[in-house]
Structures are given as C-alpha cells and as structure tokens.
Amino acid sequence: MQELIVVTGASTGMGAATARELAGRGFHVLAGVRKDKDADAIRADGIEPVILDITDPDQIAALAARVEGDPRAVRAVVNNAGIAVNAPVESLSMHDWRWQFEVNLFGHIAVTQALLPALLRSKGRVVNISSVGGKIAMATYGAYAGTKFALEAVSDALRRELAPLGVQVVVIEPGGVQTEMAGRGIATANRLVTGMTREQHERYGDLVQAITAQATAFTKAGLPAGDAAKVIAKAVTVRNPRTRYTIGRDAAVLSRLPRILPDRVLDRILAANLRPHYPAKR
C-alpha cells in the first residue's frame, strides 16, 4: 500500500520541495502548513495539506488522529519547520529566546512524541532537519545554533532509544540553501537591530550588518531547495541511512572544522571570513 510521510513546515522552501519530491516518488505526503492559502498552494496529487502549527497542541493532536485513522503505514516524519532569530546574546529578549526554542526544538519533540506510536508500528523513520549551525555557532547565532545543537543531541538520544525497536533516526545538516526562511531570518535580524539600546548598537551594530551581508551572500550562493529535497528524500527512502547527511559542500566543510581545529583558530578563521562584509568606515 502507498505509505504516508509527514513533512512539517511545508509551506515554502525545503519543506515544500521535499513534499513534492516525495509525492513524486509515490508516497502520500501530509504536508504541514500554517495558513489556508499555503494549503491551496501545496495541494497536489500525493500531497494532502494539513493545518499544523507545531507549537499548537490541538493541531498536533489533530495530525496524530489523522494518522491513526489511516490504514496506511507511516514511512517517516520529517521535522522541518523552523525559524531563524539572529541577534547578539545580550540584546535578544528572553521572549525571542524562548520562542526560538519553542519552534525549533520543543515543537519537533511534540510532533515526534505524538507520531511515535504509528512509527513504532510501521518501523518508520524520524528525519530531523538540523543545520550546519548545529555544529558551529557564529556570532549572533547563539539562539538559532543553540536550538540546532540541542536538536542534534535529542536526535542522538532518540536514535539510541529507538534503534532496538526498529525505528531509525536521521539528522540532516543543510548549509546555504535558497529558501524563504533565510530571507525572513535576515529581515528579523534587521528588525531586532532597531530594538537595541544605543550602547548595544554601538557594540554590535557593525557586527549585525556584517553578519546580515554575509548571510545574504551565503544564501544567494546556496543550493536550490529542490536539490536539498533530494538529499532529504534519500534519507527517508534509502534502506540503510547514515545517521547524518550534510547538504552542500559548505556544510560538509564547516561541520568538520570544530572537530579538527582548536577553538581559537576557528575563531580567527570565522572572523577573517566575516571581515570583508563589515560596512566601510567613513
């Protein structure tokens, strides 16, 4: 029988591309979106949109009920939903810190918990979309990278818990990918700058501008979302998946640097790469 796959955060970017890639391979995809207009945009043969805010317990329960009421086996859940909130540790409000973790970590855990009974029955797969930021944390990425480091740790624990039960857990670590989320993250960073105090702006204003310029260039040079979707689909479908897949050459390189370089050396390399993006001094 045709198998089910749940993809969260399927409105745009990698999530939408992954839903289409998996539907094209013959799966029935339950594509999590937050708005009716996004549901209309993603609906297609093999793609059934479901309204899903992964921070909303009622919507998660409705998704679980939808899955439980379907006779088809659940091949995988792809935890893809996420946001990027980048700002210096000092200036980011505790509300924004908590919201970043609510979406990028706790929401994934909640969805996974709700769908695990079905995954255990089908011996399915959990695919968590992390980031190169789950291996290396650049300046102003404390909150975002913190959620991804945590997701990596939770994935390791979950993999070791579920392996004896026949459920596999895979982590995906994208680098630069051309997605709407990257653009929204840059816009959010620009908005947060305006909320800094004068002293914070003096300390971090140039840094945030440099990071934003670097992120823009990084995203522009990144892979198309469709290419990233093929890697995710491989993680879902290959018989014996690796525990981790990187997406893009940049991710492959950056994810290895913390393992082979001393912290101070890595600090200098990151600072040197950022330097050309600083605003010119008048």
Q: How far apart (Å, rounded) are the C-alpha atoms in residues 269 and 261?
A: 10
161, HSE (Cβ side, Cα atoms, 13 Å): 10
245 is known as an active-site residue:
no
Inform me whether the pLDDT recorded for 281 exceeds 90. no
| Set 141, 144, 204, 245: catalytic member | 144
| % of the chain beyond a pLDDT of 70 | 98
Q: How far apart (Å, rounded) are the C-alpha atoms in residues 123 and 216?
A: 40
pLDDT (tens digit per residue) in 143-162: 999 999 999 999 999 999 99
pLDDT (tens digit per residue) in 38-69: 999 999 999 999 999 999 999 999 999 999 99
Give the model's pLDDT for residue 226.
Answer: 94
Q: Which among 164, 146, 35 is positioned nearest to 99, based on CA atoms? A: 146
Question: Could you tell me the CATH superfamily of domain 4-277?
Answer: NAD(P)-binding Rossmann-like Domain (3.40.50.720)
Axis crossing angle, helix 180-194 with helix 198-220, rounded to the nearest 10: 170
Give the model's pLDDT for residue 19.
Answer: 98
pLDDT (tens digit per residue) in 189-229: 777 777 899 999 999 999 999 999 998 888 888 889 999 99
Residue 5, strand partner residues: 29, 76
Q: Which among 122, 117, 30, 123 is positioned nearest to 79, based on CA atoms? A: 30
Q: How far apart (Å, rounded) are the C-alpha atoms in residues 247 and 261?
A: 21
Give the model's pLDDT for residue 188.
Answer: 74
The phi, psi pair for 12, rounded to 5°, reads: -145, 180
Give the model's pLDDT for residue 193.
Answer: 78
Q: How far apart (Å, rounded) are the C-alpha atoms in residues 103 and 51?
A: 16
Inform me whether the pLDDT recorded for 70 exceeds 90. yes
Q: For residues 1-7, give the mean pLDDT.
A: 92
Give the model's pLDDT for residue 202.
Answer: 93
Give the model's pLDDT for residue 181.
Answer: 67
- The residue assigned the tokens 């653009």 is 183
Mean pLDDT of the chain: 94
pLDDT (tens digit per residue) in 229-238: 999 999 999 9
Q: For residues 83-90, give the mean pLDDT.
A: 92
Give the model's pLDDT for residue 250.
Answer: 87
9 close to 184: Cβ distance less than 8 angstroms: no
Region class of 8: left (phi > 0), else alpha (psi between -120 and 50), else beta: beta
pLDDT band at 106 (very low <50, low <70, confident <90, very high): very high
In the chain, where the domains are located: 4-277
Give the model's pLDDT for residue 182.
Answer: 65
Inform me whether the pLDDT recorded for 183 exceeds 90. no
> What pTM, to 2 d.p., does this model score?
0.92
Write the burial class of residue 204 (CB in 10 Å: 0-12 exposed, 13-18 middle, 19+ buried). buried
Distance from the Cα of residue 262 to its chain's centroid: 27
- The residue assigned the tokens 């579920």 is 162
Q: How far apart (Å, rounded) are the C-alpha atoms in residues 185 and 140?
A: 12
6 close to 75: Cβ distance less than 8 angstroms: no
Inform me whether the pLDDT recorded for 185 exceeds 80. no
Give the model's pLDDT for residue 1.
Answer: 66
Give the model's pLDDT for residue 91.
Answer: 94
The phi, psi pair for 206, rounded to 5°, reads: -65, -40
